[in-house]
């Protein structure tokens, strides 16, 4: 499995490796493999005629000459045929058929390495090594490579029965003794050749790694110079080309196994994977089984799916599964910028470029692309005219194809993670860490003419080697977790080996470099190392079984350091191969076919099926159905449950292959926490081939550590036969899930009984332990701890709408009311004090002046909630209710187990929405004035759902369940996830839907993931999604340098240095070396990275603005400056004097903060998440935009918890009553208050009517300042005063949303559960196109630059003057034509409804903004009801 720069673990030759079926005919046929087990020796015609007759029985007259694609007849029985699904099913039920499965495409898993593992050129060799034949199933071979020179070789061994498919461009020799190609569908890819010739490079690389001849002075353009050689350079190679430029099909892989076994190979090497976990639906497992039956060991790559556990791709117990580890060689590429700052890149560059201009990919989009796409430098996304001859900076790892095709001279990539391997690129490239990439980006934006130099790569010693590569797949086996997988590890990182002169080095046609050798990485590279080691053992012991060869490799492997490899044996198996020792192991653990049959019986395979597989009618499963721990494997592995005792007995038999007379003593090292007993502990042998049996008993209690290991060594003084002992806790993930069951049943019902019975049906007796919380007051469902299988069972049960993980949401972290024209003196409704706002947040600080209940009467009669009082918490007539929720019962050290706020966020949002007026509020004098909420007379009900580690779905849904039933009027929720979900897999969307059903509007923060498109996470159309914008106040920190120069930085700095100057030190000059930090780390001033002595009483200059200042604060520094050339549109608070800017000079600095007026406000802040709505689409077209509107969310002063500091950092000891913070968390409660204000005047209005009032009365923002237009600010900026008298509203009720959901593809069955209405039916109602949802806006998008037309149907309700006439005023920009019918709406009474149609024709050019917008305004002379119209061009619907 080869690894390259194109994708993290993709193949160097860039092929499409998706599971596509072979060419299908017009009758929906596709290629299936029909596996029939062992070929019958007494039936020479086990082939085409038999297979054709079987086809005719199921397909009758439809069987054509081309239906049977191939018959397997040389080594086992089966065939490949074009079948329909029905025919495949009929054949699967036919007598004599083991399995039928599609022929899928599989993936390739893609020298100092031999010297590194102690296997030098001068190692002892067997005289029969040249008789060993390695069969390599891969992309073919290039026989002209110097690695396959046959000088000194005699003719092929007499046992060889294969052939060479000679062609005009291909012939074999005495090194490459055989070669064939396989293409079952007959179609040869255009850029490939119809011969065994390797046009890709992968097959040549793997074959030369295993058995390449010695080639002196080999290198990759001078890199990795030395002697290139295979592990068994005298061995012969038989090449079987099963992989082409479009993948490797199962049918061809199995055909190659069929031939290779019959041809007489000794070892089969397969650096690719097959998908199925059923052994006999997996072509590699099938082929390897028959190879084992014929005395041939199959060596396979473990896979490139790491570093996660349970990702191993090849795991059949009769194969040798090989992980990949590093060697002591690494490659680095230096990037030097025009400011003389250098960075270490992780890549392999074969040439250098000097002092060339650098351009950011996001600034150079090609026609039809946006900067949001071109920033990643994908193929075709870059403008050639802008990047030609320059270095392109890219925001992610890319293959380099994008810059190459755009004629760039080089590339700088950002985002390298620890453990990623250096790889070749098609042009000079430096792959930087995310931090270094951030600094390089800052430099690019700091000067008009950024330049850079990329040097040719250099080689360095990797002192941490060997270490399992991050990409290497991990065990345990998904079928039998008690068998060690992978079996061992071998070098697979940065391997130099042969390469065809005709193949691109990086997979790109424009990469014209030619080299006889290439450096690539992957388990594809480790597999042939193990294949060679197996061949080396086989050359000394030609009669040994595959299991004996495998045992010798495993018991002599060198153990790796578990501290460097936390997954221990699950990542490296028995250890790293040691071929020179493996040839002489002393003892072997042998396994024969009968043992594997016994194992398969224990795993549920039937006697009948196994008789077909083995071709032995006497095979039968024993009564005890053999168990996997008793398979005679050279390792002892068992799984355990945490805190539960185990007592596992293993039975093993060893065969003496060392000294005839020998005595072995057992030396056991028990895994931590366990006891190991070996009986007998001494084994005495008197002859070679003698067998002795023993047992190993492992006893103990597993702790929480995933893997613990020990070992058993049998030692006779000459040989040490080592086997790992591994106890691990399997990854049975029991996670909190939400089981949503829709609306609550009518009448009284026992929720706990119902939910327990549902769980019992899926789980059995453990149901009561799994149930965590029942939702029953406002809707129906529960939270429970479930495994993956249990989730699947529940999701398929009657009455269940959805089952989804209880994910963790994040908090979306006052002059603001006056700024929007909503003064203290505005008109108030008498009912305002009856309005109850439900705040779902971090709790509240009840002692804050903002929550004083002076002048308040008792709670409204409608209130049904209560207060969870405790010794540290009580409610009052302002805070009329409070509860806390923590479904898993796990609290942090600083959490307060009550509704009290220990974070500050909840107090801040609550006071912003409904806080009382508090004069002279400020943060140490900053933001001074009157702090107040939008509806200061309203009541607050607190639902604490957020804690030290976030806000969990189970708790969010529980709070919704209570809040709806408690009688709140508005729900405010300033939290959200990192991604958007299906509406009914999202706790917030579910809760908001049931709130809407009960007449309650939910106000959500849009999210803080901007400014990228489609980053909004709270987007259900029945809730109000709120973006964040600035107010006319911002905080600057003046930075005065020792030379008198003054700069203005951005921060909220509450400290006064009295113009005292302090020395400056760069963080990179003060690393905490005792703590193990280097200058490369301390330059960013991260936690613990600074030397306290060096930074004390100094101002620290840091190279990153993303830090929180904690390292400098803890170190006792006097201040901190974070260099950043990006424009900052909001200020942050720090625990010490701080500013964010880029000082040009000066070695002494002073800091102080002040407040200024921001003349450009309001504009949408950069962090505010943008639309469009990524869920609601129709034919790949976005048709709802969201956010709905924007509100103040920057530098907001509001109440704070006195249980924490203003920065929430432990070393910040300040305590404040009010704090200044920013986020959509701050804008959301502004909109919440505005909604409550509207509700106080119009208590009977629906949630949709209130939302419409807010949206149609919002004032539009400038699209010159806000380039993302309505996708940034929705309908505009809230104007609470205008919203109470909107004139007309676009109303929508539950039935409208049901029609909308029908149009989105939700089923009648699901919607009946959601609504609780059994008469709901998508077949009976109009399936509402999303564009016709009665929404107060109009959006259309297109993926074409051609004109698009869309018709919208809307209905408005008169809530203004009884007798009124509204005229349509259309504002349309160039490229948009809007027709409204009728253009006049006449009303005779309040509540009257009128419908109209809007037809929009728009053409959107793929320009910088990709959108045009206008508006429809209904005007009666007094009231203007405004709705935006947006047309949007999307080059891609995937963000």
Catalytic residue status for 138: yes
Q: Is the pLDDT of residue 1439 over 50?
A: no
Per-residue pLDDT tens digits for 975-1029: 877 665 678 888 888 899 999 999 999 999 888 777 777 778 777 899 999 998 8
**Number of neighbouring beta carbons within 10 Å of residue 695:** 12
Active site residue 1225: yes
How many residues does the structure list for the chain?
Answer: 1439
What's the rounded Cα separation, in Å, for the pair 1336 and 239?
67
Give the C-alpha separation, 50 to 32, whole Å. Answer: 17
**16-30, 677-691, 741-755, 1039-1053: least confidently modelled range:** 16-30
> Is the preceding omega at residue 227 within 30 degrees of 0, hence cis?
no
Give me the mean pLDDT over the 802-813 stretch.
Answer: 74
Q: Within a 10 A sphere around the Cβ of 573, how many other Cβ atoms?
A: 29
Predicted pLDDT at 1322:
84
Does 769 qualify as catalytic in the annotation? Answer: no
Count Cβ atoms within 10 A of the Cβ of residue 533 and give its class: 0-12 exposed, 13-18 middle, 19 or more buried.
buried
Under a CB-based contact definition with an 8 Å cutoff, are residues 1155 and 1035 in contact?
yes
Average pLDDT, the chain: 84
Q: Using alpha carbons, list the distances in angstroms from residue 1340 to 1019, 1181, 1397.
A: 17, 7, 15
Share of the chain above pLDDT 70, in %: 87
Quick one: which of 983, 1082, 969, 925 has its CA closest to 1301?
983
Q: How far apart are CA 814 and CA 818, in angstroms?
A: 8
Statement: residue 110 has pLDDT above 60: no
Q: Which helix (H) or strand (E) holds 1381?
A: strand 1376-1381
User: What is residue 539's three-state secondary structure?
Assistant: helix
- Tokens 């990182």 found at: 493
Predicted local distance difference test score (pLDDT) of residue 1114? 61
Buried-state track 591-630, b at ≥16 Cβ within 10 A, e below 16: bebebbbbbbbbeebeeebbbbbbbbeebebeeeebebbb
pLDDT digits 0-9 by tens, 869-919? 988 899 999 999 999 999 888 888 889 999 999 999 999 999 999 999 898
| Among candidate residues 1415, 1352, 1353, 1420, the one with its CA nearest the CA of residue 1385 | 1420
Average pLDDT over residues 957-968: 93
Q: How many CA atoms lie within 13 A of 329 on its CB side?
A: 25
Query: Is 1230 an annotated catalytic residue?
Result: no
Nearest to 99 by CA among 250, 249, 269: 250
Q: Are strands 1384-1387 and 1411-1419 parallel, antiparallel or unpaired?
A: unpaired
For the record, the structure tokens of 251 come out as 């049918």
Catalytic residue among 290, 773, 812, 905: 905
- Band (pLDDT 50/70/90 cuts) for residue 93 is confident
pLDDT average, residue stretch 723-730? 89
Burial of residue 860 (CB within 10 Å: 0-12, 13-18, 19+) is middle
Q: Is 1254 helix (H, G, I), strand (E, B) or coil?
A: helix
Cα-based angle 1142, 1146, 1148 (whole degrees, multiple of 5): 105
At which residue do the structure tokens 């994908």 appear?
A: 378
Per-residue pLDDT at 1068 = 81
Active site residue 524: yes
DSSP code per residue over 704-763: S-SEEEEEEEEE-SS-EEEEEEEEE------EEEEEE--SPPSS---HHHHHHHHHHHHH
- SS3 assignment, position 356: strand
Q: CB of 1137 within 8 A of CB of 1057?
A: yes
Catalytic, out of 778, 1225, 1331, 1427: 1225
Q: Which residues of 1045-1061 are buried (b: 16+ CB within 10 A; e: fewer)?
A: eebebbbbbbbebeeeb
**Overall average pLDDT of the 1310-1328 stretch:** 78
Tell me the angle at which helices 1294-1303 and 987-997 cross, rounded to the nearest 10 degrees: 140
Q: Average the pLDDT over 951-967 and give the result.
A: 92
Give the pair of three-digit tokens for residue 247. Answer: 């993948």
Using CA atoms, how far apart are residues 1170 and 1432, in angstroms rounded to an integer?
13
Catalytic residue among 109, 202, 773, 776: 202
Q: Among the options 99, 524, 898, 1341, which is catalytic?
A: 524
On the question of pLDDT at 714 being above 60, the answer is yes
DSSP label of 628: G
Interval 593-625: pLDDT, tens: 989 988 888 888 888 888 888 888 888 887 665
What digits encode the pLDDT tens for the residues 326-384?
888 888 889 999 999 999 888 888 889 999 999 998 889 988 887 777 888 888 889 99
Going by C-alpha positions, the residue among 202, 776, 290, 293 that lies closest to residue 545 is 293
Rg (CA), the chain: 36
**Nearest in space to 1275 (alpha carbons), one of 1249, 1250, 1247, 1254:** 1254
pLDDT band at 1367 (very low <50, low <70, confident <90, very high): very high
What's the pLDDT at 186? 83
What phi and psi values does residue 1292 have, to the nearest 5 degrees?
Answer: -155, 140
Q: Tell me which of 285-294, 463-472, 479-488 is least confident.
A: 463-472
Chain position carrying tokens 């911002």: 1034
The CA-based diameter of the chain, rounded to the nearest angstrom, is: 113
Strand 267-270 to 133-138 pairing: parallel
> Residue 311 CB: number of other CB atoms within 10 A?
17
Query: Does 1153 score more than 50 pLDDT?
Result: no
| Residue 432 to residue 358: CA distance in whole angstroms | 15
Query: Which DSSP category does 592 fall into?
Result: -
| Helix or strand run (H / E) with residue 1092 | helix 1092-1095
pTM above 0.75, yes or no: no
CA angle 694-697-700, nearest 5°?
170
- Annotation says 99 is catalytic: no
| DSSP state letters, 757-812 | HHHHHHH-TTHHHHEEEEE-SSS-EEEEEE-HHHHHHHHTSTT--EEEE--EEEE-
CA 799, CA 967: separation in Å to the nearest integer? 27
| C-alpha–C-alpha distance, residues 446 and 444, integer Å | 6
Residue pair 480/317 in contact by the 8 Å Cβ criterion: yes
Q: Which of 198, 200, 330, 841 is catalytic?
A: 841
Q: In the predicted model, is pLDDT for residue 64 greater than 70? A: no
Structure tokens at 513: 């470099």
Catalytic residue among 138, 250, 590, 1129: 138
- The pLDDT of residue 433 is above 80: yes
């Amino acid at each position: 499995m080869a690894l390259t720069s194109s994708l993290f673990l993709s193949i160097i030759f860039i092929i499409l490796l998706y599971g596509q079926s072979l060419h299908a005919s017009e009758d929906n046929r596709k290629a299936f493999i029909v596996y029939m087990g062992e070929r019958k020796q007494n039936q020479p015609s086990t082939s085409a005629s038999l297979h054709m007759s079987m086809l005719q029985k199921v397909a009758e007259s439809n069987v054509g000459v081309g239906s049977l694609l191939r018959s397997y007849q040389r080594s086992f029985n089966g065939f490949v045929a074009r079948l329909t699904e029905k025919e495949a099913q009929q054949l699967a039920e036919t007598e004599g058929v083991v399995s039928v499965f599609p022929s899928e495409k599989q993936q390739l898993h893609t020298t100092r390495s031999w010297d590194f593992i102690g296997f030098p050129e001068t190692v002892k060799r067997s005289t029969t090594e040249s008789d060993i034949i390695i069969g390599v199933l891969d992309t073919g071979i290039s026989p002209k490579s110097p690695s396959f020179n046959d000088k000194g070789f005699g003719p092929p061994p007499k046992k060889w029965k294969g052939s060479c498919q000679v062609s005009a461009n291909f012939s074999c020799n005495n090194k490459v003794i055989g070669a064939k190609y396989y293409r079952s569908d007959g179609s040869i890819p255009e850029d490939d050749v119809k011969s065994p010739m390797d046009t890709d490079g992968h097959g040549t690389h793997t074959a030369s790694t295993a058995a390449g001849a010695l080639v002196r002075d080999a290198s990759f353009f001078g890199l990795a110079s030395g002697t290139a050689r295979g592990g068994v350079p005298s061995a012969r190679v038989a090449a079987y080309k099963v992989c082409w430029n479009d993948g490797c099909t199962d049918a061809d892989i199995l055909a190659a196994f069929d031939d290779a076994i019959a041809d007489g190979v000794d070892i089969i090497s397969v650096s690719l994977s097959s998908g199925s976990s059923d052994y006999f639906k997996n072509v590699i497992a099938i082929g390897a089984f028959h190879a084992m039956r014929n005395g041939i060991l199959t060596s396979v790559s473990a896979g490139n799916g790491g570093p996660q556990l349970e990702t191993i791709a090849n795991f059949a117990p009769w194969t040798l599964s090989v992980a990949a580890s590093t060697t002591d060689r690494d490659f680095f590429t230096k990037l030097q910028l025009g400011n003389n700052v250098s960075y270490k890149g992780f890549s392999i560059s074969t040439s250098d470029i000097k002092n060339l201009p650098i351009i950011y990919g996001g600034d150079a989009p090609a026609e039809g692309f946006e900067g949001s796409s071109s920033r990643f430098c994908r193929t075709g996304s870059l403008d050639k005219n802008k990047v030609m001859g320059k270095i392109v900076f890219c925001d992610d790892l890319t293959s380099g194809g994008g810059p190459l095709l755009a004629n760039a001279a080089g590339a700088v990539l950002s985002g390298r993670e620890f453990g990623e391997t250096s790889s070749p690129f098609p042009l000079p490239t430096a792959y930087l860490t995310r931090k270094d990439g951030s600094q390089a980006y800052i430099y690019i934006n700091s000067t008009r003419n950024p330049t850079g130099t990329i040097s040719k790569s250099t080689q360095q010693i990797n002192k941490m080697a060997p270490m399992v590569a991050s990409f290497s797949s991990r065990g345990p086996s998904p079928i039998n977790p008690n068998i060690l997988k992978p079996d061992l590890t071998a070098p697979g990182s940065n391997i130099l080996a042969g390469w065809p002169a005709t193949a691109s080095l990086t997979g790109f046609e424009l990469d014209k470099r030619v080299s006889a050798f290439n450096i690539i990485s992957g388990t594809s590279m480790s597999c042939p190392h193990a294949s060679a080691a197996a061949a080396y053992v086989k050359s000394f012991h030609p009669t040994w079984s595959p299991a004996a060869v495998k045992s010798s490799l495993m018991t002599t492997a060198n153990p790796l350091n578990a501290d460097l490899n936390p997954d221990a044996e699950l990542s490296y198996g028995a250890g790293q191969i040691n071929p020179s020792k493996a040839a002489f192991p002393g003892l072997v653990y042998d396994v024969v076919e009968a043992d594997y049959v016994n194992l398969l019986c224990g795993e549920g395979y039937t006697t009948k099926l196994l008789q077909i597989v083995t071709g032995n009618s006497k095979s039968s499963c024993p009564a005890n159905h053999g168990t996997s721990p008793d398979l005679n494997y050279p390792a002892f592995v068992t799984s355990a449950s945490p805190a539960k005792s185990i007592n596992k007995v293993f039975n093993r038999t060893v065969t003496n292959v060392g000294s005839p007379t020998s005595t072995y003593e057992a030396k056991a090292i028990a895994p931590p926490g366990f006891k190991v007993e070996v009986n007998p502990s001494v084994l005495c042998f008197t002859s070679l081939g003698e067998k002795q049996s023993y047992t190993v008993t492992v006893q103990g209690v597993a702790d929480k550590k995933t893997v613990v290991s020990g070992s058993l060594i049998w030692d006779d003084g000459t040989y040490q036969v080592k086997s790992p002992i591994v106890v691990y806790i399997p990854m049975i993930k029991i996670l909190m899930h939400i089981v949503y069951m829709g609306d609550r049943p009518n009448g009284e019902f026992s929720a706990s009984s119902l939910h327990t019975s549902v769980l019992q049906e899926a789980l059995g007796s453990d149901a009561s332990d799994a149930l965590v919380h029942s939702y029953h007051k406002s809707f129906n469902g529960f939270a429970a701890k479930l495994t993956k299988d249990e989730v699947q069972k529940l999701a398929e049960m009657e009455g269940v709408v959805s089952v989804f993980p209880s994910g963790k949401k994040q908090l979306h972290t006052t002059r603001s009311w006056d700024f929007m024209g909503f003064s203290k003196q505005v008109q108030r409704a008498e009912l305002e004090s009856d309005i109850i706002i439900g705040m779902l947040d971090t709790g509240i600080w009840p002692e804050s002046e903002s929550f004083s209940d002076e002048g308040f009467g008792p709670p409204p009669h409608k209130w049904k909630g209560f207060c969870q009082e405790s010794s540290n918490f009580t409610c009052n007539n302002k805070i009329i209710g409070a509860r806390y929720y923590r479904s898993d019962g796990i609290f942090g050290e600083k959490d307060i187990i009550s509704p009290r706020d220990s974070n500050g966020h909840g107090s801040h949002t609550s006071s912003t929405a409904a806080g009382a007026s508090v004069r002279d509020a400020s943060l140490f004098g900053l933001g001074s004035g009157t702090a107040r909420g939008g509806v200061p007379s309203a009541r607050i009900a607190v639902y604490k759902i957020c804690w030290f580690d976030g806000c969990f779905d189970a708790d969010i849904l529980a709070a919704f369940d209570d809040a709806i039933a408690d009688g709140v009027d508005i729900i405010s929720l300033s939290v959200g996830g990192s991604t958007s979900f299906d509406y009914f897999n999202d706790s917030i969307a579910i809760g908001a839907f049931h709130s809407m059903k009960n007449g309650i509007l939910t106000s959500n923060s849009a999210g803080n993931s901007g400014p990228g498109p489609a980053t909004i996470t709270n987007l259900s159309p029945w809730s109000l999604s709120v973006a964040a914008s600035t107010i006319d106040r911002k905080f600057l920190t003046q930075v005065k340098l020792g030379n008198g120069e003054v700069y203005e930085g951005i921060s909220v700095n509450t400290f006064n240095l009295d113009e005292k100057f302090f020395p400056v030190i760069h963080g990179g000059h003060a690393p905490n070396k005792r703590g193990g930090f280097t200058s490369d780390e301390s330059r960013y001033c991260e936690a613990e990275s600074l030397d306290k002595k060096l930074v004390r009483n100094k101002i620290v200059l840091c190279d990153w603005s993303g830090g929180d200042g904690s390292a400098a604060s803890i170190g006792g520094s006097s201040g901190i400056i974070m260099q950043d050339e990006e424009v900052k549109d909001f200020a942050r608070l720090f625990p010490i004097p701080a500013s964010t800017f880029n000082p040009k000079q000066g070695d002494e600095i002073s800091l102080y903060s002040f407040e200024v007026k921001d003349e450009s406000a309001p504009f949408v802040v950069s962090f505010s998440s943008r639309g469009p709505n990524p869920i609601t689409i129709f034919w790949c077209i976005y048709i709802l935009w969201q956010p709905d509107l924007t509100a103040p969310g920057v530098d907001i002063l509001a109440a704070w918890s006195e249980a924490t500091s203003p920065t929430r950092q432990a070393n910040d000891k300040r305590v404040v009553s009010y704090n200044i913070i920013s986020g959509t968390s701050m804008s959301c409660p502004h909109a919440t208050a505005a909604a409550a204000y509207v509700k106080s005047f119009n208590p009977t209005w629906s949630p949709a009517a209130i939302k419409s009032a807010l949206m149609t009365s919002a004032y539009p923002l400038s699209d010159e300042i806000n380039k993302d237009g309505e996708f940034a600010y929705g309908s505009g900026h809230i104007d609470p005063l205008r919203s109470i008298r909107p004139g007309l509203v676009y109303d929508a009720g539950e039935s409208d949303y049901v029609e909308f959901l029908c149009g989105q593809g939700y089923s009648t069955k699901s919607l009946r559960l959601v609504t609780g209405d059994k008469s709901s039916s998508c077949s009976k109602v109009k399936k509402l196109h999303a564009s016709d949802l009665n929404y107060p806006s109009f959006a259309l998008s297109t993926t074409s630059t051609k004109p698009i037309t869309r018709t919208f149907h809307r209905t408005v309700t008169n809530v203004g003057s009884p007798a009124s006439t509204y005229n349509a005023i259309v504002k349309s920009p160039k490229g948009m034509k809007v027709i409204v019918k009728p253009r006049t709406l006449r009303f005779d009474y309040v509540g009257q409804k009128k419908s109209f149609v809007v037809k929009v024709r728009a053409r959107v050019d793929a320009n910088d903004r990709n959108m045009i917008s206008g508006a429809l305004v209904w005007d009666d002379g007094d009231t203007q009801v405004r709705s935006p119209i947006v047309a949007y061009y999307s080059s891609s619907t995937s963000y």
